[in-house]
Amino acid sequence: MNNNDFQHFMNEAARLTRSGDLQAATSAIQSALGGAPAPGPGNAGKPGAIDVEARELPTGGRPQFVAGSFATTSGQREYKLFIPGGAGGKPLPLVVMLHGCTQTPDDFAAGTAMNDLAQPQGVYVLYPAQSQQANPQRCWNWFKHSHQQRGRGEPALLAGMTRQVMEQHAIDPDRVFVAGLSAGGAMAAILGDTYPDLYAAVGVHSGLAAGAASDLPSAMQAMQGKGAHPRSSERHVPTIVFHGDADATVHPRNGEQVAAASSAGAGAADVRQHQPAGRRRSTRSVHRDAGGQVLAEHWLVHGAAHAWSGGSARGSYTDASGPDASAEMLRFFLQHPRRPAR
C-alpha cells in the first residue's frame, strides 16, 4: 500500500468517527494498516479479579518453548514461554515480549531471535498472544482508556500472566522486563507506567508513549505524529526505545515522546553515532538523571521503516540491516534490575 492509499483510508476513518459509525471507522483503520504491525482498535476488556490456573511446566535440561494459557473474568489469552536450558535452580530474569498486529508468539520469537540470545544469558522469555476475538488484527488495544489503567483490561491481564509465570518458575522478581513492537510497544509503555512495581525496565520498538491517545481520532493523530504530547511518567522506569526515521506507520516523533516521558527532568543527552559494517547508521541518545542513572536510551535508526531492527527474515516485519534491537534491549535490561526503594 502506498502513502496516498494509507492517507485515504485514515481520512475516511476520521470522517466515519465524526459521524459516529465507529465500526466502519475501525474497518477503515484496519484497511489502512493492512498487514503492517501497527496499533489498532478492538474490543474493550472488562475489569475483574485474576483467576490463575497453575500447572507444572518442565524445567532443567535442554531449552524448551512451551505453550500455556492465562484466564481472568474478562477473558483468556494463550502464550508461549521460552525456558532456557538448565533453568529451575537459582532465580533467573524474565522478558515479556508483546508482538505487533497480525503477528503471533511463534512469528515474533522467530523474527526477533530473542530466544537465541536469551539461552546463553539464562533468561526466560514470555510471549503473550492477543486473540482475534479481542482484536481482529491481533493488535493490543493500547489506546482505549479501559486498557490504559492498572487493574483493568489488558494491562491487568498481562501483569497477571507475568505473575503466573513467576509463580510457576524460578524468576528473579527484580529482573522482570517488558518489550514490544508497534501496538505491542505501546502496550509495553503502558505496562511500565501502570506496573512499575512489576517491570524493572521497558523496551519500546516503533511504538507510542503511554497516554498518547484515548480514542480513535486521537490514535490516528498520534500515529501520524500530530497528536498532543503525552504525559510524562512520574515513575521513571528505565526505557530503551528503537524507532526508524522512515517509519510511515507510526511516526518517529512517537519514539522521541516515549524517551521524553521516561527521562523528564534529565539533563542533556549523551548522543553518539553508530554504523557497524554492513548495518544501517543509527543515533543513540542516552538520558541520565542528576545522579548518573540511565532513565532512557533512544536509538533512531536512519532509513529504517516499521520493522524490528536487526531481526531475522524467519519472522515478519523485520529489518536485518538495522542494529540488533534484541541484543541491545537484552543488554539494557540486564543492566537495569529493579532499583532499591528510596
- CATH number for the domain harbouring residue 261: 3.40.50.1820
Average pLDDT in the chain: 85
**Residue 341 falls inside a structural domain:** no
**Residue 207 falls inside a structural domain:** yes
- According to DSSP, the β-strands at 239-244 and 270-274 are unpaired
**Nearest-CA neighbor of 304 among 281, 327, 285?**
281
Helices (H), the chain: 3-19, 22-33, 105-112, 114-121, 153-168, 183-194, 216-223, 253-262, 325-334
**Residue 340 falls inside a structural domain:** no
271 and 217 in a common domain:
yes
Summarize pLDDT for 174-202 with one digit per residue, the tens: 999 999 999 999 999 999 999 999 999 99
Question: Lowest-confidence range among 11-15, 25-29, 182-186, 235-239?
Answer: 25-29
Whole-prediction pTM value? 0.83
Q: Residue 61 has what pLDDT?
A: 81
Q: Residue 240 has what pLDDT?
A: 98
200 and 150 in a common domain:
yes
23 and 132 in a common domain:
no
203 and 235 in a common domain:
yes
Q: Residue 54 has what pLDDT?
A: 33
Instruction: Note whether 305 and 247 are within 8 A (CB).
Output: yes
104 and 62 in a common domain:
yes
**Residue 39 falls inside a structural domain:** no
- Return phi, psi of residue 159, to 5°: -65, -40
**Residue 311 falls inside a structural domain:** yes
Name the DSSP class of 172. E
Q: Residue 278 has what pLDDT?
A: 84
- Provide Rg for the chain, Cα atoms: 19
**Residue 339 falls inside a structural domain:** no
296 and 184 in a common domain:
yes
141 and 8 in a common domain:
no
Summarize pLDDT for 209-261 with one digit per residue, the tens: 999 998 888 988 999 998 777 766 566 799 999 999 999 999 999 999 999 99
29 and 49 in a common domain:
no
260 and 232 in a common domain:
yes
How would residue 34 be classed by pLDDT, with cut points 50, 70 and 90?
very low
Average the pLDDT over 103-111 and give the result.
98
296 and 173 in a common domain:
yes
* Sheet with 294-301: strands ordered across: 50-51, 64-72, 75-83, 124-128, 92-98, 171-181, 201-205, 239-244, 294-301, 282-288, 270-274
Q: What percent of the chain has pLDDT over 90?
A: 68
Average the pLDDT over 75-103 and give the result.
95
**Residue 40 falls inside a structural domain:** no
283 and 163 in a common domain:
yes
Q: How many domains does the chain have?
A: 2
Instruction: Note whether 333 and 276 are within 8 A (CB).
Output: no
Range of the domain at 10: 1-34
* Widest distance between CA atoms in the chain: 59
238 and 177 in a common domain:
yes
**Residue 110 falls inside a structural domain:** yes
